[in-house]
Amino acid sequence: MSTSRGARQPTIKEVARLAGVSPMTASRTLAGGRNVRPDLQERVLAAVRELGYYRNENARSLRPGQPSGLIGIAITNLANPYYGNFALGVEEVAAEHGRRIILGNTGEDDARERQLVSDFIGRQVDGLILVPVSGDAAHLKPERLGEVPLVLASRRVPGLDVDTVLLDDVGGAYRGTVSLLDAGHTRIGFLGNRSSVFTGERRFRGYEQAMTERGVPVDPAIVARDQQDVAAASLAAKAMLDRDEPPTAIFSANNRNTIGALREIGRRIREGRSGPRPAIVSFDDFELSELMPVPVTVIDHDARLLGREAATLLFSRLDEDVAVPARTVELPVSIEYP
Amino acid sequence: MSTSRGARQPTIKEVARLAGVSPMTASRTLAGGRNVRPDLQERVLAAVRELGYYRNENARSLRPGQPSGLIGIAITNLANPYYGNFALGVEEVAAEHGRRIILGNTGEDDARERQLVSDFIGRQVDGLILVPVSGDAAHLKPERLGEVPLVLASRRVPGLDVDTVLLDDVGGAYRGTVSLLDAGHTRIGFLGNRSSVFTGERRFRGYEQAMTERGVPVDPAIVARDQQDVAAASLAAKAMLDRDEPPTAIFSANNRNTIGALREIGRRIREGRSGPRPAIVSFDDFELSELMPVPVTVIDHDARLLGREAATLLFSRLDEDVAVPARTVELPVSIEYP
DNA sequence: CTGTTAGCGCATTCAT
DNA sequence: ATGAATGCGCTAACAG
């Protein structure tokens, strides 16, 4: 019986010894076998199999200039399928480039983001992809990051001039709101993130712009901008719909708010309440939107693509020219009518 | 102007030099400051801030016995919100234990799983959490993994006796199917994964058991067991519903199949087709199931909890007793009627 | 309380 | 084509 935790990982020395060669020959073999006699390679590879050897990537990356092969990615909420897909997009492109991702969840917490970034750098990540919590930028400044390139996704950080992938938040929100106005709605509620969140601000701006342009006043009584999760969004929708002059349509600035609003609307329908059944425009797609009991217009965009784009930006800086100035890619959104 | 990529990361030596102490004093300070004069600590910390120093975690973990602080996690499909939540659960518990997760997506591909596991081990992960692709177990055998503890989630691998977190697949599927039978259905279709997928097999078994017990024959014509994604599930549902004797209810063995089936059903309703509107029982919850145009019974379970449980199992082996035999935790599911 | 020495696993450099 | 020496950044173990 072996020990409970199995044996220590074998090292390249042990492989070499078993193969009867020097560690260098083993190392060279593992590096591709340039300048190593085929028969020795055979013996090394046999020893590798025999011992179950894995090259220690950490030791490998210790030597300066050697990349760690890790991309650090910090997102704000993994429970949101949107960010799951985002991470998947990054992971796909990273895998294509032979990199692994190391993932952390900030939960919209500034301190946690700082901690994650430190840790990532301490692990010698080759690059960093961040959906920033916003707040201040001190810990993301290039001088703090050393050589590690950073790409921001979804949101920009004030005062930070780095590669960024954004959505056309303003345009999408504008067009979505216009579609409601075109349908004759004038009492249009707003559900979204607090304005300190970059997308929350931008999407509200698009909404506001459309309303103002058409001469429809924005009524603060049916604007709720502080919901981060489904439960809070439900409550906000409820409050709005319980008013004397409830909205006939609701613009929801993100997935979580949309689900919350629909949950509340569904509850009212099931309870047989007569009240209004507001039309919805949702920034962010969600599954089965076509089956909802009220018409849902979706401002659709592909989280996975956003992730792929962010990763592409990162690898272009990593593998190609490094001196180009910071770029911003703004991905289009598409409006899907019910 | 500095170079385009910023400066190399400072090392502990440079910190020590700037603080006018030896590297060991700097190291000790960073390790908590035991046995270091407060004024020297001050100077070290000042130097750290000044230089923007981050401890190189890879170098640190090079020394034997030092944990890397990384937990490797490989899941089959990050795009499935279920696994996003699973990863989140693992991430939460890992963070509580001061660990980071390093995440890979296998896409149900055996080779990719092997590759990921090798890479994780090469990065000296402290532990491994896997939703296995099944197939063979050679690369997961303890002797291949060395000291690295492994926890399986959702699925078991034949011939591999390790800590495992499962759902009550059979019981849940059984109870869900019974609820349909109790409602008077006798023609109940099945949508699920191919039987080589562990959960696919188990959930089918629960379905079959309930049917058999009630003397209702399982008709292969309305059993489709090969869909991995929403599009395939839609097609399978379509084929089933287009038959001469379509099912009056459908048991769907997972989230992806449920969405696909509902998408097809919704399409038929919107097209004003008269055909049957089958009731659904869905293994796996999904958002807004209460708003569907057909009654949906959900066999609910918490992916995040599954992740937390897997991580808890792992850390108990990592931080506590190591010699206990392999454990299996089977989490209960709850049935939520429409 | 502080510093010196040594070595973790690997690969670059320089011999042979 | 092969091997020996060396050092990456860090911290136990030992000395002072």
Cα–Cα distance, A43 to A28 (Å, whole number): 13
pLDDT for res A215: 97
**Across all residues in chain B, what is the average pLDDT?**
91
pLDDT band at A232 (very low <50, low <70, confident <90, very high): very high
Contact status of B31 with chain A (Cβ, < 8 Å): no
Q: Do domains B1-53 and B58-161+304-330 have the same CATH topology?
A: no
Contact A57 B124 (CB under 8 A): yes
CB-CB contact of A172 with A231 (8 Å): no
Q: Which residues of A touch B59 (CB under 8 A)?
A: 58, 62
Tell me if the domain spanning B169-300 has CATH number 3.40.50.2300. yes
pLDDT band at B5 (very low <50, low <70, confident <90, very high): very low
Contact status of A5 with chain B (Cβ, < 8 Å): yes
Tell me if the domain spanning B1-53 has CATH number 3.40.50.300. no
Closest CA to C8 C1' — which residue? B63
CB-CB contact of A90 with A310 (8 Å): yes
Contact status of B87 with chain A (Cβ, < 8 Å): yes
Q: Write down the residue that tokens 């973990």 correspond to.
A: B61
> Nearest CA to CA, how far is A181 from chain B (Å)?
25
**What's the predicted TM-score (pTM) here?**
0.85
Q: Which residue has the higher pLDDT, A230 or B2?
A: A230
Which residues interact with strand C by a CB < 7 Å criterion? Answer: A 8-9, 11-13, 23-24, 27-28, 30-31, 55-56, 59-60, 62-63, 66; B 21-25, 28, 35-37, 40, 62-64
pLDDT for res A5: 41
CB-CB contact of B159 with B132 (8 Å): no
Structural domain spans, chain B: 1-53, 58-161+304-330, 169-300
pLDDT band at B6 (very low <50, low <70, confident <90, very high): very low
Contact B55 A124 (CB under 8 A): no
Q: What is the mean pLDDT of residues A181-199?
A: 93
- B284 by DSSP, 3-state: which? coil
Please give the interface size between A and B, counted as residue pairs whose CB atoms are below 8 Å apart: 191
Exposed / middle / buried, residue A325 (Cβ in 10 Å: 0-12, 13-18, 19+):
exposed
What CATH number is given for B58-161+304-330 in this structure? 3.40.50.2300
> Nearest CA to CA, how far is A247 from chain B (Å)?
21
pLDDT for res A4: 33
Q: Which residue has the higher pLDDT, A323 or A326?
A: A326
B45-75 pLDDT, tens digit per residue, is 999 999 989 999 999 988 877 889 999 999 9
> Nearest CA to CA, how far is B64 from chain A (Å)?
9
pLDDT for res A6: 41
